[in-house]
Homo-oligomer: A and B are copies of this chain.
Amino acid sequence: MAKKVTGPEIERLIQLLARVPGLGPRSARRAALHLIKKKEQLLAPLAIAMSEANDRVVMCSTCGNADTSDPCTICTDPSRDQNVLIVVEDVSDLWALERAAAMNAAYHVLGGTLSPLDGIGPEDLTIGPLVERVAGGAIKEIIIAVNATVEGQTTAHYITDQLAGSDVTITRLAHGVPVGGELDYLDEGTLAAALRSRTSF
């Protein structure tokens, strides 16, 4: 602002909020003002929730999930099939798959995809630890659930190569028509894959 109109606390709050994904400089001001007006209902609880998350959330050293215990809730859950690993790029993908609630397996978060142009090689991802987990012998199946992008598929192929010697089953997510999707809006690659992988009625 051109002239000092408030104490530095509000400006600092706006600056930090503007760095949260989904908020820009303008919406950060609106958010800050809303928080200040809803101090007891929102600002104070959010400050506490952030402080607690900062103190207690850690990344699981086994699978890479974000949790308050290490190993995480998923890795220590006896009701899950710990012999099946779903390999994902990011924790957000793990959350998305858990919302689908289709599998009761464990996970392995890669932390990204191979991208030579961005200088991201195998050593920047948790591919080494994945190979070690498989070498441990207990893992029966690896489900590669990376994004259907060029980088994702490159990473999937690299992982398959690394695990070539082991006797683990390696699968990947099916390609096909999204549920609720309209054929007219789908790309040729998806339609071709859906035809190739057609299932009996």
Residue ranges of A at the interface with B (Cβ–Cβ < 8 Å)? 1-7, 9-10, 12-13, 16-17, 19-23, 27-36, 39, 42-47, 49-54, 56-57, 65-69, 72-74, 77, 90-92, 94-95, 98-99, 101, 104
Residues of chain B lying within 8 A (CB to CB) of residue A91: 33
Given A22-B28, A22-B31, output 12 extra A-B contacts at Cβ < 8 Å: A1-B95, A2-B99, A4-B77, A5-B94, A6-B67, A12-B49, A13-B46, A13-B50, A23-B31, A35-B50, A36-B66, A44-B54
| Contact indicator A68/B5 (Cβ below 8 Å) | no
| Contact indicator A3/B98 (Cβ below 8 Å) | yes
In angstroms, Cα B90 to Cα A26, docked, is 15
Smallest CB gap from A34: residue in B: B21
Copy number of this protein in the oligomer?
2
| Contact indicator A101/B3 (Cβ below 8 Å) | yes
- Across chains A and B, which 3 residue pairs bring their CB atoms closest together, nearest first? A7-B68, A2-B101, A47-B50
In angstroms, Cα B5 to Cα A9, docked, is 35
Known contacts: A6-B67, A22-B31. The answer to whether A47 contacts B43 by CB under 8 A is: no
Residues of chain B lying within 8 A (CB to CB) of residue A19: 42
In angstroms, Cα B3 to Cα A21, docked, is 26
| Contact indicator A57/B22 (Cβ below 8 Å) | no
Residues of chain B lying within 8 A (CB to CB) of residue A94: 5
In angstroms, Cα B2 to Cα A68, docked, is 18
In angstroms, Cα B42 to Cα A85, docked, is 31
Smallest CB gap from A28: residue in B: B22
Smallest CB gap from A79: residue in B: B3
In angstroms, Cα B179 to Cα A66, docked, is 48
| Contact indicator A98/B22 (Cβ below 8 Å) | no
In angstroms, Cα B16 to Cα A69, docked, is 22
